[in-house]
Chains A and B, each alone.
Chain A
């Protein structure tokens, strides 16, 4: 059974940093692209970052230069280092896998971890 378990969320002051983790199990972690997606309470989904199997990373403009995604295949773990946090980064952060086919979707999601940026 595929499982993705996020951790590391919490309350942080504006301008602060936080590191999220995602522990994966039940599949060959190193063979899959991994993603972070966030959701402000009551709002829509926003893709935050991706790392492919080669270690190449991708970010939307809203977080580029502030967030860093990484992976540690030996530990079946995904990370998101978030710096220079703003109130607008307050959201539930999900890690997700994407299937290997072209046009595949985000087929497995974690339960999410809440990040609150507030003074």
Chain B
């Protein structure tokens, strides 16, 4: 089955840039999405189609996807960005949806 792997944790200082990777076989051939989840809340879509931001998502969130790796970048990270982040893709071979293992972003 298709798997997406993320680092368990990423730490970043306020105002700095956080980069979260998501690795999967030929992930660049698929579309990647990213979700933010804060404690006790439902996930929120922050990036879709690799690079697009839904309405209401701040410009500091950006995405890229190439080769075997998709990346979520948070520029000028704020304390409110501290959360768990999950990547997600659709595996066309099986027609199934897959989530990454999740990354906890800590703003120190």
Residue ranges of A at the interface with B (Cβ–Cβ < 8 Å): 35, 37, 44-47, 50, 58, 60-61, 94, 99, 101-107, 109-112
Contact = CB atoms under 8 A, between A and B. Distances in A.
Interface centre among B34, B42, B44 (most CB of A within 10 A): B42
B31 A45 contact: no
Classify chain B's interface size.
20 to 34
A109 B42 contact: yes
A35 B35 CA distance: 15
Contact of B49 (A35, A37, A61, A103): A103
Interface of B: 1, 31, 33-35, 37, 42-45, 47-50, 54, 86, 88, 90, 95-102
Interface centre among A37, A44, A58 (most CB of B within 10 A): A44
B96 A58 contact: yes
A112 B102 contact: no
B86 A44 contact: yes
Contacts of A46: 99
